[in-house]
């Protein structure tokens, strides 16, 4: 039965099923490669994506017109769409594929051409390759998605916001289907220099989320995509439902352009709003997929917020950034994918790189080996530069 839509939260309304997942990361191509890597206690040494075959996406001429972040988004979306079993075109279907920075590699390459060969040699495709909405546009065109095609650019919270906003499209009745996620490809010298000079990056080769010796993150890249679908529509066509999106929220710290509010006030409100939107209590949450960047201030502020919402014995926590590094806007999307995989497999992956959990954080961080757990509800958090906070809640089907 269709429930009356109310304005009190983004996901209240029609039920929202997850029917497809896709991923491309340093662990390899596809969701299976990602999940296999996360089961290990050690992380891939390189956070770069190795060369891969994208001939199913297009020919050499077409592929050259995609910045890597768009190609990553298309690769992940293609996997998720295939798993969903949907076929396009779908006139009301939405697409929200986000990025934090967009086509930075294209900008760098075209600046080189400008300086070496002059303005007449700059590619006429530079603008559509570099623009942050390129991945959303490419996904909508590939599958014939004629509904809202939007890009949320809220730094490291953007992937989670994309999932929440796409769920709202489906729940409200605006879209029957929505493709949601994020993509990022900015492991380049200028980006690394910028993050390093603001002391955000680790001096080592691995992130150590919530570890007493954490000193920053390592950069990652990739894409995560979820196909969301109105529940009855999915059941009616015999789709395999992987999980349900039951709540989401977004708030701002209104505090500082890069540093989190140490009180965790914005993050607290975000989690509480997401719980209220889902119609559940903190006690109903089985597991938290944390933002867990491995920076001293962010991990501590997140821990303060989690303990405020969940008390002194929060549910088990993991951060996949220990395995994959921090892929900015793609991070929340990949964490959404992993949250669904955790529900499907009833297994919480460990936090790679973390050995000695900081007692000041006071969290039950899963380390060493995967933890078998009766997981009914997963809360996934993302917090980004600018004070952007995002939470999304998934339930087992």
Catalytic residues: 156, 291, 326
Burial, 46: exposed, middle or buried (Cβ in 10 Å; 0-12, 13-18, 19+)?
Answer: exposed
Distance CA 361, CA 304 (A): 7
Q: How far is CA 344 from the centre of its chain?
A: 18
β-bridge mates for residue 181, sequence order: 97, 225
**Nearest one of 352, 334, 367, 368 to 207, comparing CA atoms:** 352
SS3 293: coil
For every residue of 273-296, which 3-state class applies, written as one string? Answer: HHHHHHCCCHHHCCEEECCCCCCH
Tokens of 319: 């951060």
d(CA 21, CA 6) in angstroms, rounded, equals: 28
Tokens read off for 147 = 């509904």
State the DSSP H helix or E strand holding residue 157, giving kind and residue range, or none if neither: none
**What one-character DSSP code corresponds to residue 259?**
S
How many other C-beta atoms can be found within 10 angstroms of the C-beta atom of residue 280?
18
């Amino acid at each position: 039965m269709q429930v009356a839509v109310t304005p009190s939260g983004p996901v209240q309304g029609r039920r929202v099923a997850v029917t497809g997942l896709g991923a491309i990361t340093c662990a390899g191509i596809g969701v299976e490669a990602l999940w296999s890597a996360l089961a290990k206690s050690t992380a891939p040494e390189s956070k770069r994506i190795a060369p891969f075959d994208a001939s199913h996406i297009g020919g050499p001429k077409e592929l050259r017109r995609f910045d890597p972040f768009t190609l990553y988004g298309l690769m992940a979306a293609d996997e998720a769409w295939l798993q969903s079993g949907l076929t396009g075109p779908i006139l009301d279907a939405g697409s929200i594929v986000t990025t934090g920075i967009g086509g930075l590699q294209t900008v760098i390459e075209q600046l080189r051409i400008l300086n070496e060969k002059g303005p007449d040699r700059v590619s006429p495709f530079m603008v559509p390759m570099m623009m942050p909405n390129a991945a959303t546009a490419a996904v909508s065109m590939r599958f014939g998605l004629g509904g809202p095609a939007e890009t949320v650019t809220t730094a490291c919270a953007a992937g989670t916001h994309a999932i929440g906003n796409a769920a709202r499209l489906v729940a409200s009745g605006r879209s029957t289907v929505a493709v949601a996620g994020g993509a990022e490809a900015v492991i380049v010298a200028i980006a690394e220099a910028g993050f390093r000079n603001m002391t955000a990056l680790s001096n080592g080769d691995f992130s150590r989320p919530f570890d007493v010796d954490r000193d920053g993150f390592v950069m990652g890249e990739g894409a995560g995509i979820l196909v969301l679908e109105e529940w009855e529509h999915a059941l009616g066509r015999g789709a395999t439902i992987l999980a349900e999106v039951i709540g989401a929220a977004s708030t701002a710290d209104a505090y500082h352009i890069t540093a989190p509010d140490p009180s965790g006030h914005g993050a607290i409100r975000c989690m509480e709003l997401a719980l209220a939107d889902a119609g559940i209590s903190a006690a109903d949450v089985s597991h938290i997929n944390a933002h867990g960047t491995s920076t001293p201030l962010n991990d501590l502020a997140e821990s303060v917020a989690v303990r405020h919402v969940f008390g002194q014995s929060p549910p088990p926590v993991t951060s996949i950034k220990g395995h994959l590094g921090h892929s900015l806007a793609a991070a929340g999307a990949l964490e959404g994918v992993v949250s669904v995989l955790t529900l499907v497999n009833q297994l919480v992956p460990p936090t790679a790189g973390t050995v000695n959990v900081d007692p000041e954080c006071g969290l039950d961080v899963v380390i060493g080996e995967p933890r078998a757990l009766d997981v009914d509800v997963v809360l996934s958090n993302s917090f980004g530069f600018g004070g952007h906070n995002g939470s999304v809640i998934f339930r087992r089907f």
